[in-house]
Homo-oligomer: A and B are copies of this chain.
């Protein structure tokens, strides 16, 4: 796996996992699913595929210190600090430019830091397959075979099979579709040729830089300035100067939708979840015979309770449920949240409300 790299993107927040995910301790830095944090699991998932020296992390200053503590095996120089959030297109561009300066033959996998993948072997197999496709100048994306008409993800339509002797079924991308409403999602599911957009991309550094040159000239100019100063004592000054004016743009809208050579590997059986909201826990953790999940069994007393998650953050309280169905209960030191499972996406509205009312201590 020479010339191959993973770039872990870890800047965001994750307000839908409030009240556990907080501004100071965002989702990816929390041990949401066990002993390891989501970020640590993302790093660990690359073991036996890539050595730590070939793993880069792009994050913001406020999170970098904690990340270095959580994954000390990654060399310090592999942490790239965004001066300010400018969207995934800029993150991807910066990582590609820095990598390309280091290794002109670099191929990179862009991986979110806060996803869950159960089947690590299949994940490795898919990444290797994707690296092969990327070697031929494709922008490759891992699609996730949908298991429900989710409205939480964008969808990728697979087009013709890609010519070539690839080890995994690989398709040209027909089109990218924004997050649909539920009726549209049901229709997409019925077609059988749509995948969820997982946000995992694989490409050569020079391929993506070429696309940026074509499609995002302002970013291209900035990246060229930044990379010329990279590694010199001007690095931070130049990065700051050219980064701040950048327009916020995602890699999907800014690059993928209008690129020509785009391929998708539709992956079923990965056991993937973006752990995007509390109800995702039912995809990720094993429920008991009543469908209940308690992160600390000794702290949950369930009486006629079904399909309910009790998440005891850093709380020692006993949580008692009586006649409760299809709920998510999250107990932290200072907040108890009780939420109908199918309304878990509304947690972000509550966070907005708290922001608006300047309830800083809960954010």
Interface residues of A (CB under 8 A from B): 19, 301, 303-304, 316-324, 327, 329, 331, 333-340, 342-344, 346-347, 349-350, 353-354, 362
* Contact (Cβ within 8 A) B346 A338: no
* Contact (Cβ within 8 A) A339 B318: no
| A355→B301 CA distance, assembly (Å) | 13
Partner of A322, one of B319, B347, B362: B347
Residues of B within 8 A of A354 (CB): 301
| A334→B312 CA distance, assembly (Å) | 13
* Contact (Cβ within 8 A) B338 A318: no
Between A322, A327, A333, A354, the greatest number of chain B beta carbons within 10 A of the residue's beta carbon is seen for A322
Q: How far is the CB of A356 from chain B (nearest CB, A)?
A: 12
In chain B, what residue has the closest Cβ to A345?
Answer: B322
Q: How far is the CB of A86 from chain B (nearest CB, A)?
A: 32
* Contact (Cβ within 8 A) A321 B339: yes
| A362→B317 CA distance, assembly (Å) | 10
| A349→B304 CA distance, assembly (Å) | 11
Can you give 8 A-B contacts (C-beta < 8 A)?
A: A301-B354, A304-B343, A318-B362, A320-B338, A322-B350, A323-B343, A329-B336, A329-B338
Residues of B within 8 A of A333 (CB): 317
With contacts A301-B353, A303-B349 taken as known, whether A321 is within 8 angstroms of B338 at the C-beta atoms is yes
Residues of B within 8 A of A322 (CB): 337-340, 343-344, 346-347, 350
Residues of B within 8 A of A343 (CB): 304, 322-323
Those 7 A-B pairs whose CB atoms lie nearest each other, nearest first: A323-B340, A323-B343, A322-B339, A320-B337, A318-B335, A319-B336, A321-B338
In chain B, what residue has the closest Cβ to A361?
Answer: B318
Q: How far is the CB of A350 from chain B (nearest CB, A)?
A: 6
| A155→B337 CA distance, assembly (Å) | 40
Q: How far is the CB of A258 from chain B (nearest CB, A)?
A: 38
| A320→B340 CA distance, assembly (Å) | 11
Known: A318-B335, A338-B338. 13 other contacts (CB 8 A): A19-B320, A301-B353, A303-B349, A317-B334, A317-B335, A319-B338, A322-B337, A322-B338, A322-B339, A322-B340, A324-B338, A329-B338, A331-B336
Residues of B within 8 A of A349 (CB): 303
* Contact (Cβ within 8 A) B301 A324: no
Residues of B within 8 A of A353 (CB): 301, 303
Residues of B within 8 A of A337 (CB): 319-322
In chain B, what residue has the closest Cβ to A349?
Answer: B303
Q: How far is the CB of A222 from chain B (nearest CB, A)?
A: 41
